[in-house]
Chains A and B, each alone.
Chain A
Amino acid sequence: MRSATRIADRRGARVEHVGELLRPTIRAMRWTPPLTAACLAFVQVFVQTRDVCPPSAPCVGPEVRVLALRIAAILLALGTSFILDDPTEDTTAHLPTPLWLRRAVRVGLAAPLLAVTWALLVPLAMRSSVDPRPFPTGALTLELAALTIWALAVSASSARFVPEGMGGVAAGPILLGLVAAANYLPRRMALFVLDPQDPRWQGAHDLWRLVLFAAIATLLVASRDPGRASLRRHPHASVAGRPARTGAR
């Protein structure tokens, strides 16, 4: 059977490999948290943006819609953080399929669910809007991406310290802590600006871009092969071993 283990070097074999991984990975992933988060996001956006006032004098302004979608983004990020949970991570760490690829498959499987949910949430939030000004959907999508990738990065980083590789359990409180901490940033560095007409809006979303890049970098670092880290620090390290007793006599 050894010939069956040497196929990844063939051209196109990686695609075949990923194709075979899809079905068991779908079954292995924890879908309940992201689906629950999506449901909560729908309810939250629906309730918060429901406008009972007449169209000539709407009670729900763009700030409320921004807040509703921002809370939805946090909920979706929290739910998505569980998709990397893998109780077999330690058992399968010695296998040739790299950790980054396994995680990429999981992210790739969850991404359509997240995209569809968001694509439905935005019109839900905008359903009663009569404001002629353009709504900053792109900027809020950037926030969603940054929050989600941070959640994944925290989950990936904490997976090896949490029993059974359940990094998502640790990611939730950490992400909420980061969001809470972001609210205490100085005014000029504020991330969560509510009014799209606020002069700080553009600056805030330049910061969000940096946050997104930092999240991607953290996720990539956390998904490196654990077998290589220390040797990179000591590429030529060699310490003479203490002599062991050989035999007993």
Chain B
Amino acid sequence: MTGLDDGNGGKQRVRLQGIEKRFLRTRALDGVSLDAGTGILGLLGPNGAGKTTLLRILATILAPDAGEVRLLGRNPSRSRDRLEIRRRLGYMPQEPGFHRNFTAFEFVDYVAILKEMTHRPRRHQEVRRALELSGLESVSGKKIRALSGGMRRRVALAQSLLGDPDLLILDEPTAGLDPEQRLRFRDMVSRLGEDRTIVVSTHQTEDVAALCQQVVVMNAGRVLLTGAPRDVAEVARGHVWLADGRDPRARLAWRTAEGRHRNIGDAPPGAELAEPTIEDGYLLLVGERAFSEAA
């Protein structure tokens, strides 16, 4: 990672220390700490792991109950700092809401106004740029209610790109996208991540492996592992083996395209060990919950 100045002389654009968040009796985040500089950071975890809560804290729309947050060298608990962060922030929520009687252009333009872009010609130029980056130039005049779910997610992505943000937070951005759209998305995010910080939450381990320089695996509000994608895969080294059939000792097994069974769990002595993937490591890290979700 190259790292850019965060405005305060440091290279860490996101710094969280001991973040805690509760919703009534539910502890959504329990002492989460992480640092991120320029590049793409992937958040992996099962449903309810606390990923969305963490992203909402990073997007300054939720305040933690305890812990320290520094974003772009500023403290979001101070209102002036929060305003400055918001001017340099892009956020795509997991379930974006729209005014469905707006066209894609009108909606992104509305968001641009809320982003304080009041100079109309320059704003329209920026809206066109964001729509083009998201591959929406051909449908920019269509009403949002007439767009497919995947297209709507791209509209949400387009609004997050307005103003060329230094910190981009994307919550499940590839959910509902078809394979071609996902590849286009990877290409775009990969280019954007060259000179800014992108935090992506996803269930797609392939996206993390393909895009992210850093991965944070979460479960039940805690960080289980922080490292490179290969570090996640390494967790499963020695725990993945191939066999001609489903091994009863395996916690999870499936038949591969070659007709053999890929087993994950505690490998028996003499087993034919396989090269682990990030998915294997993730499944072992997250444990029973991920196994039950995957099954």
Task: Mark A residues whose CB is within 8 Å of B.
Answer: 1-2, 4-8, 13, 16-17, 19-21, 24, 27-28, 86-97, 102, 164-165, 225-235, 237-242, 244-249
Return 21 A-B CB contacts under 8 Å, by A number.
A7-B117, A17-B118, A21-B114, A27-B101, A86-B97, A88-B110, A91-B97, A94-B60, A94-B89, A94-B91, A95-B114, A96-B86, A165-B97, A227-B63, A231-B77, A238-B66, A241-B18, A242-B222, A244-B226, A246-B227, A248-B227
Given the interface pairs A24-B106, A28-B102, A247-B227, the reply to whether A1 lies near B87 with Cβ below 8 Å is: no
Bound Cα distance A43, B168 (Å): 52
Q: Is chain A's interface secondary structure helix, strand, loop, or mixed overall?
A: loop
Task: Mark B residues whose CB is within 8 Å of A.
Answer: 16-21, 30-34, 59-68, 76-77, 79, 82-83, 86-89, 91, 93, 95-99, 101-102, 106, 109-111, 113-120, 122-123, 125-126, 129, 156, 159, 162-164, 169, 216, 222-228, 231-232, 234-235, 281
Contact B18 A94 (CB under 8 A): no
Q: Is chain B's interface secondary structure helix, strand, loop, or mixed overall?
A: mixed
Contact B117 A249 (CB under 8 A): no
Contact A237 B67 (CB under 8 A): yes
Bound Cα distance A91, B65 (Å): 22
Minimum CB distance partner of A19 in chain B: B118
Minimum CB distance partner of A5 in chain B: B163
Contact B102 A24 (CB under 8 A): yes
Bound Cα distance A76, B66 (Å): 43
Which of B83, B106, B113, B223 contacts A21, CB < 8 Å?
Answer: B113
Minimum CB distance partner of B76 in chain A: A227
Contact B116 A1 (CB under 8 A): no
Closest beta carbon of chain A to B4's beta carbon, Å:
14
Bound Cα distance A227, B91 (Å): 14
Contact B82 A227 (CB under 8 A): yes
Which of B102, B119, B216, B228 contacts A27, CB < 8 Å?
Answer: B102
Q: Which residues of A contact B231 (CB under 8 A)?
A: 247-249
Contact B116 A97 (CB under 8 A): yes
Bound Cα distance A126, B202 (Å): 63
Which of B18, B30, B114 contacts A92, CB < 8 Å?
Answer: B114
Q: Which residues of B contact A102 (CB under 8 A)?
A: 114
Minimum CB distance partner of B20 in chain A: A239
Closest beta carbon of chain B to A231's beta carbon, Å:
4
Bound Cα distance A230, B114 (Å): 24
Contact A242 B163 (CB under 8 A): no
Which of B66, B118, B169, B222 contacts A239, CB < 8 Å?
Answer: B66
Contact A241 B17 (CB under 8 A): yes
